[in-house]
Amino acid sequence: MNIYKQRRKTVLKQMQNDSVLILFSAMAKTVSNDTQYPFRQDSDFYYLSGFNEDNAVLVLIKSGEKKRVVMFVQPKDKMMELWTGKRAGVKKVKNDLSIKHVFSIKKLDEKLQKICQNKKAVYFDLFNKDKLIYIHLVVSKVKDNRSLKFYPRSFLDAKEILHALRRRKSAKEIALIKKAIDITKKAHHHAMSIKKKDIYEYELQAEFEYMFKKHGAMQDAYTTIVAGGNNANTLHYTSNKDVLKEGELILIDAGCQYDMYASDITRTIPVSGRFTPAQKDVYSLILDAQKEIIAMVRPGIKFSDLQTRARELLCSAMITLGILSGRVDDLIRKDKDKQYYPHSIGHYMGIDVHDACPYKDENGEELPLCEGVVLTIEPGLYLDVNDTSIPKKYRGIGIRIEDDILVTKDGHQNLSIGIKKEIKDIEAYSLM
């Protein structure tokens, strides 16, 4: 069975009786006049349909044992297609997506009202204000019809079902993530090997974007961060507008999207190809911590366990470096480490780079990792150039090392292990 059909079946099974689930595609977004932002399909909509056009709606209907899938898409329109590209149209969607009931999006309001008749609940993206208003209008019209037995009295969160499903990746999804990582590897290695002294950060960013597209990844998974020297101490630095100077490090957080699946890799490399002794001190401690945290990843362990250990390791690294003094447990209790390691150890990764999967169960308890989860492990230290409490030789150094990890049956697999991160390997690559 087609994977999307399989997923729809699983969702239908989890829906309550006499309910409807409504999922909207992303809409093309205008910059101004007739110029548009690059289109990116809504992740949940894609997960259940595999359909990549805008202005479409997928509806799952469950009434007793009867289950039905209905899709609304843009109809064929020669004139519009001349301007904005080919549309699949009703007939092709019926065939290609193996959905029996496909209609023009123009019939959405009318058909949706019928679909919601005699249903008890509607699932949709509850926290999207526009959708909430739209669904409210549809259901209000249904409610006005007094001849009906029921109208939907509960609005439920479709994302709760979908995001829990998205947490465990299938073999096919893992293969796409691996492909995205493989392309990202080529880009990071390319960046290590080329001359970087005195070029602009955005020029190095362009090398990444070139490599991504060159190898078939049409979009970035997020805006590439190329942060030279102290810019690395701004966590989401994306202006990439400064010149890379000899003697500095460059923190590069870059990943592409392949067939809708993300990769998310950070490497911190020297502009000149050689780490200074001070940079080596900081880098080796973070790398050791990262390896130890990755080694902990297995089913049953929680993000919070990983974060606790990361804080201990980085805190003790900061004591070694003379940035903090005292006992690790005291320093952590007082959050002294957070100034230099302010973020968490990692996040889920999948269709979204920060994949929208649950971290807690319905009782608010943290979910342990399980087989099929993909996550990042990304410890870092950020030592601002103006922070006089840091030994002078370390000021202005910002380092993060990030890999993408798959949780396996009895441990983990580092999917990005092939991307160089040992000091000697990065230096050797730079001299090629």
Count the Cβ atoms, other than its own, within 10 Å of residue 80. Answer: 12
Q: How far is C-alpha 106 from the chain's CA centre?
A: 32
Binding to Mn ion by CB under 5 A, coded x per residue (else -) over 242-271, reads ----------------------x-------
Nearer CB in complex with Mn ion: 376/430: 376
- 23 - beta bridge partners? 58
Nearer CB in complex with Mn ion: 149/236: 236
What does the alpha-carbon distance between residue 341 and residue 361 come to, in Å, rounded to a whole number? 27
Binding to Mn ion by CB under 5 A, coded x per residue (else -) over 327-366, reads ----------------------------------------
Nearer CB in complex with Mn ion: 41/416: 416
> Could you give the residue numbers annotated as active site?
34, 236, 253, 264, 343, 347, 354, 378, 382, 400, 402
Q: Which long-range contacts (CB under 8 A, 24 or more apart) does 333-337 make?
A: 337/311
What does the alpha-carbon distance between residue 287 and residue 25 come to, in Å, rounded to a whole number? 41
Nearer CB in complex with Mn ion: 376/416: 376
- Is residue 376 at the binding interface for Mn ion, with CB under 5 A as the rule? yes
Residues sharing a CB contact under 8 Å with residue 232, sequence separation 6 or more, in sequence order: 249, 250, 251, 268, 382, 397, 398, 399, 400
Sheet holding 219-220, edge to edge: 219-220, 256-258, 261-262
Nearer CB in complex with Mn ion: 90/235: 235
Which residues here bind Mn ion, judged by CB under 5 A? 264, 376
